[in-house]
Structure 1
Amino acid sequence: MPAFPTASPTISPTLSERIASLAAHFDTAILPAWTGPGWHAAMQLAHEALDGATCRPLPDRRYRAMACARQLYVFATSGNLAHADTLFGSLGHYFGDGAGGWIYSVDANGAPQDTMRDLYTHAFVVFACAHYHRAGGSVAALETLRKTVDVIEARFGDGNGLYHAALAPNFAENGAGVLQNPIMHLTEAYLAALEVTGDKWFAERLPAMAPAVAQCFVDPANGCVAELPQGTPGNRIEPGHQFEWYSLVMTAPALFADTPLPASLRRAFDFARRHGVADGTLGVCAALDLGGALQDGTQRIWAQTEFARALAVKGIVEQNPAPLVELEQWIDRFRSRFLHAGGWHECVAPDGAVVRAEMPSTTPYHLLTAYQALCALK
């Protein structure tokens, strides 16, 4: 991966302590939940969600390939390679065709349920395999990564430099169109693949995608990456995705330097911070309209962690202590509003009332990607 600035601004002892507290909560509360009550030993898969109050598994109506891939990333990155080995085996057993294609979900008994070909799923398989290979050197993971990339490139391309969000089970077009979120996660996956393989193809493909992303999704008025292609009725801006895009692109500055995205995303960060983050709580709302007016005030935990990651990245990239001062405040408020002894609250209202209490198996991925960026400051 192109060089990312390694020197960080000097951080305060308070910020260092607060980052350590988040990491400790992750190690002592989050990880054990998914090898304990969150683990379905008979299925060799994580339950889809745990009850937020009791930490008991909620009834499983399905298991998603994306959820399995995210758990694989979490345990590979956290150093539990034995559990990661099991998850990698389950990923291929339940969801893969052996040739780089993946179905969306299986039912509660492990039989294929939704067999559509989802770009989001394929991207997370690449991402998880990259991290699993990096952690343990798995040759099978690297082979799976390469096969999956081949399928993505051969099947999902839209002919305009981007990718269809989903395809029919036989990989035929199904009218799903192009959406920014799976393309963002494909960018994340290809960055991870570049880091572990050093393959120059990824270094060429990523900046080649960027102008197409900008043309299709970036609102010229504010630099934000909209959820739907520009001009689509009902389009919206999710502040969390502005912070997520910012973090991804700014951690590879040389790679994207000659593309429109860095300049746009600096504006998008400012727009999302101004309109999408509550000054009192530093809570990030779910959605804005294109002018910045509040559309959905729900505060989802993943958007909070993306704000934190972006603050950490901004502090490093700009060698600026100001985002880190705000990060210190954010951790204090995040801990009190979203975390509890047994885990986390998935969604809260602006006033702090819990509006979604269950804990999905997919959320530890969001926590860990943010915490890694924070720990890089220390």
Structure 2
Amino acid sequence: MQTRTRHAALPTIMDADQKALWTGWLTRTVLPYWSDAGFDRGRRLYHERMTFSRAPLVLEASRLMVQARQISTFCRAALDGLHDASAQALVCLEEVERLYRHRDGQAGWIFSVAPDGAPVGTKRDLYAHAFILYAYGWAYRLSGNPDFLSVARQTVLELHQIFRAEHGGFLDEVPLAGPVRHQNPHMHLLEAFLVLFEVSGDSFYLDEAASLVRLALEKLVQSGSGALLEDFTTDWRPTVASGGNRVEPGHLFEWSWLLGEFLRLNPGAREAQAIAQAAESLFAFGMRHGLRGCVVRDAILDDGRVLENATRIWPQTELCRLLVCRGERPDLLRGLTDHFFGTFIPDSARPLWIDRFDASGKASVSDVPASSLYHIYGAAREFY
């Protein structure tokens, strides 16, 4: 079943060279490599990091989140007709369920396992649960296996049991490491619920998504400015006074896209106008304060002042995706593409990337994280 979404603005927002650069690198280089060298056939798990000489790094633990991101990416690539490593992705999902789900006899999914498969981190992490739900959604769309929806629904029920919190939303992790709550895992949980609703048609997931959209409107997005904060107290108040709160432009663009997806899937939503206005405000705040030329900064403050001029790969991809979906600013999209392939992807014949740079423009990583492929794919598929 195909899931490609064609945008009417595609013929005008990008030129042929730009499109060929993204699509050629993804289909001829990245996806074949990360489904081959990036997969450990003995363990039936994906490698979490690779060296710049293309050798897998042996780590003390493999995180659930990374496995789920890779599974979902290769399910999507097969559905999109771009690269078929779907059998491998489903084999990995089977192994992940065996290794991570209920592994210690408790509800939910553990955080990480050792190279021999033994549990390492047994905390329950909301961010990781969001991504395993996301993976099950795409695996169901790919295979039609009803067992995947059964596991997803049970996981959502357990999620409410494990991460139950006062004042709306969920706890970040159990056991808690501190009093601060974060928007980020809630954003990815919204993403997972939207995918599960779209692939199943089950309003159970749309109701879950709607509750997170309400949380965003009422607590996460600040009225007036349109800024979305990263950190909150336990009752969803900003952790510091106005003007001193961290805002990540990449998440502004990601939330803006997700709110648009919510309206696409639920056009008759109550407060549809408020949701659309919030999506516009997030986009506008990010565009006004989050860019340094054609580069998305890592962080700003909620009054728009610059907090961090360092840059990571994923915010660039989030803005690229949003611009293509909105069908606007072809000049900026070209600049983002040129910078992306001139900096983060210094050699488009190689399937590797430099994940981050410091404020002076110096690479600040020593290896290549597989987890970035999820963001890269989300943007690159829009160039088809």
TM over 0.5: yes
The aligned amino acid for 1:166 is E
Higher mean displacement: 181-190 or 56-65? 56-65
Q: List aligned pairs for 1:289-308, cutoff 5 A.
A: 289-308=301-320
Name the residue aligned to 2:378.
Answer: 369
Report the Cα distance in structure 2 between the residues aligned to 1:27 and 1:45, rounded to whole angstroms.
21
Q: Which of 292, 317, 329 does residue 335 from structure 2 map onto?
A: 329
Name the residue aligned to 1:113.
Answer: 120
Aligned length: 359
Report the Cα distance in structure 2 between the residues aligned to 1:199 and 1:263, rounded to whole angstroms.
27
Contact 1:131 1:192 in 2 (8 A): yes
Q: What's the CA shift for 1:111?
A: 1.2
Name the residue aligned to 2:210.
Answer: 207
Report the Cα distance in structure 2 between the residues aligned to 1:255 and 1:185, rounded to whole angstroms.
23
Contact 1:224 1:265 in 2 (8 A): no
Which secondary structure state, in structure 2, belongs to the residue aligned with residue 158 of structure 1? coil
TM-score, normalised relative to structure 2: 0.86
Matched, 1:239 2:249: yes
Higher mean displacement: 57-66 or 252-261? 252-261
Q: What's the CA shift for 1:252?
A: 2.8
Structure-2 change in CA distance of 1:38 and 1:255 (3 Å):
farther
Which secondary structure state, in structure 1, belongs to the residue aligned with residue 307 of structure 2? strand
Contact 1:71 1:365 in 2 (8 A): yes
Name the residue aligned to 1:56.
Answer: 55
Structure-2 change in CA distance of 1:74 and 1:209 (3 Å):
closer
Name the residue aligned to 2:81.
Answer: none
Structure 1: 5+ residue stretches without partners? 316-321
Q: What's the CA shift for 1:5?
A: 9.2
Q: What's the CA shift for 1:24?
A: 1.8
Q: What's the CA shift for 1:256?
A: 5.3
Matched, 1:70 2:69: yes
Give CA deviations for 1:104-156 in whole Å, capped at 9, x if unaligned: 11123321111111111111011011011111222332222111111123332
Contact 1:166 1:177 in 2 (8 A): no
Matched, 1:135 2:130: no
Structure-2 change in CA distance of 1:299 and 1:174 (3 Å):
closer
Name the residue aligned to 1:87.
Answer: 92
Q: List aligned pairs for 1:202-281, cutoff 5 A.
A: 202-229=205-232, 230-233=237-240, 235-253=245-263, 254=267, 258=271, 260-279=274-293
Structure-2 change in CA distance of 1:302 and 1:193 (3 Å):
same
Matched, 1:195 2:217: no
Report the Cα distance in structure 2 between the residues aligned to 1:314 and 1:10, rounded to whole angstroms.
10
Contact 2:137 2:148 in 1 (8 A): yes
Structure-2 change in CA distance of 1:296 and 1:358 (3 Å):
same
Contact 1:249 1:256 in 2 (8 A): no
Which secondary structure state, in structure 1, belongs to the residue aligned with residue 113 of structure 2? strand
Give CA deviations for 1:305-339 in whole Å, capped at 9, x if unaligned: 00111112222xxxxxx323422332122111111
The aligned amino acid for 2:191 is E
Contact 1:65 1:103 in 2 (8 A): yes
Which secondary structure state, in structure 1, belongs to the residue aligned with residue 26 of structure 2? helix
Q: What's the CA shift for 1:270?
A: 1.4
Contact 1:63 1:108 in 2 (8 A): yes
The aligned amino acid for 1:127 is Y
Report the Cα distance in structure 2 between the residues aligned to 1:122 and 1:308, rounded to whole angstroms.
26
Contact 1:104 1:114 in 2 (8 A): yes
Higher mean displacement: 182-191 or 37-46? 37-46
The aligned amino acid for 2:296 is V
Report the Cα distance in structure 1 between the residues aligned to 2:298 and 2:260, rounded to whole angstroms.
23
Which secondary structure state, in structure 1, belongs to the residue aligned with residue 226 of structure 2? coil
Structure-2 change in CA distance of 1:111 and 1:7 (3 Å):
closer
Q: What's the CA shift for 1:364?
A: 0.7
Which secondary structure state, in structure 1, belongs to the residue aligned with residue 70 of structure 2? helix
Contact 1:251 1:313 in 2 (8 A): no
Give CA deviations for 1:66-103 in whole Å, capped at 9, x if unaligned: 11101100111122221112211121121111886101
Give CA deviations for 1:11-61 in whole Å, capped at 9, x if unaligned: 249524422321221222222332333222222212210113x11112312
Which secondary structure state, in structure 2, belongs to the residue aligned with residue 113 of structure 1? strand
Q: Which of 178, 186, 192 does residue 181 from structure 2 map onto?
A: 178
Identity percentage of aligned residues: 28
Name the residue aligned to 1:21.
Answer: 21
Which secondary structure state, in structure 2, belongs to the residue aligned with residue 345 of structure 1? coil
Which secondary structure state, in structure 1, belongs to the residue aligned with residue 246 of structure 2? coil
Structure-2 change in CA distance of 1:176 and 1:48 (3 Å):
farther
Structure 2: 5+ residue stretches without partners? 79-84
Report the Cα distance in structure 2 between the residues aligned to 1:374 and 1:255, rounded to whole angstroms.
29
Give CA deviations for 1:152-187 in whole Å, capped at 9, x if unaligned: 23332323331111113xxxx665553100000000
Contact 1:179 1:227 in 2 (8 A): yes
